[in-house]
Structure 1
């Protein structure tokens, strides 16, 4: 593979591989809880909580990956990878919070929504820039990279 191509996608590949490892961890927790014999009828069992948290994370996973790669390839790799790593962190926080009380998972869920929105806006900006170059010959890639690099640290503010 061409070295120039690899340097443009290496951060996205790393975040994708980390997300795969995280999915394996979630699946392991579901398997671990399914083997326990504790059954409680009044409150959801630990297995049900872990299973539901895993299922919720799986439901959002394809959207996350698509937006991560679109934002990284069409806009800027570093802010997309940063947002991807932050998303993996809040997904872990959501998963662990869901295993306890569901109210503990809300902060992770809300920050995850903000990160998905940021990746979506980066993707849209990249697509719009592509068509501006194609039809008008105006390239705003540097401006978009500057704005996304500036905004990405602001995602850490609660």
Structure 2
């Protein structure tokens, strides 16, 4: 049986991960549907296939950064940044189905969300080493700052 205290500290990350898996299934279904309707070398199929490939290329980085940020620093802002990333990834995917220039805003927002998650990872790791080796615990301060800073992800 899983420790309830452990689950309490990761449930938001688990929910965002599950949503991302469902989103991947949606993307795969769109590729399959377009492949059945169009020939394998049609423009529409190439666009949906390329959009799916691009999303999957960044997926491992997103998951690793989100989980690292959530475990090393704070679950709530990491999960929020993860949800923002999933929303802009959806925007990127749908935008790519039209003209590729429509996907640019989603791409740029996605980069910002992943950068925020990576920054959270770095701050969490530095905070751990400061607490461990220098007996200086800055984790609460870093959590407060990241909680406030996560709202900045919504600014276009």
**TM-score with structure 2 setting the length:** 0.96
Cα root mean square deviation, aligned: 1.2
Matched, 1:141 2:139: yes
Aligned residue number for residue 24 of structure 1: 25
CA offsets 1:59-100 (integer angstroms, 9 cap, x no match)? 000000000000000010000000000000000000000000
Gaps of 5+ in 2: none
Aligned residues: 155
Aligned residue number for residue 59 of structure 1: 57
Give the alignment partner of residue 108 of structure 1, picking from 106, 113, 117.
106
Instruction: Check conservation: 2:77, 2:147, Cα contact below 8 A.
Output: yes
Aligned residue number for residue 11 of structure 1: 12
Aligned residue number for residue 94 of structure 2: 96
Does the C-alpha gap of structure 1 residues 141 and 95 become closer, same or farther in structure 2, counting only changes over 3 Å?
Answer: same
CA distance in 2, matches of 1:39, 1:142: 53
CA distance in 2, matches of 1:91, 1:117: 14
* 1:38 CA drift (Å): 5.3
Gaps of 5+ in 1: none
CA distance in 2, matches of 1:134, 1:85: 31
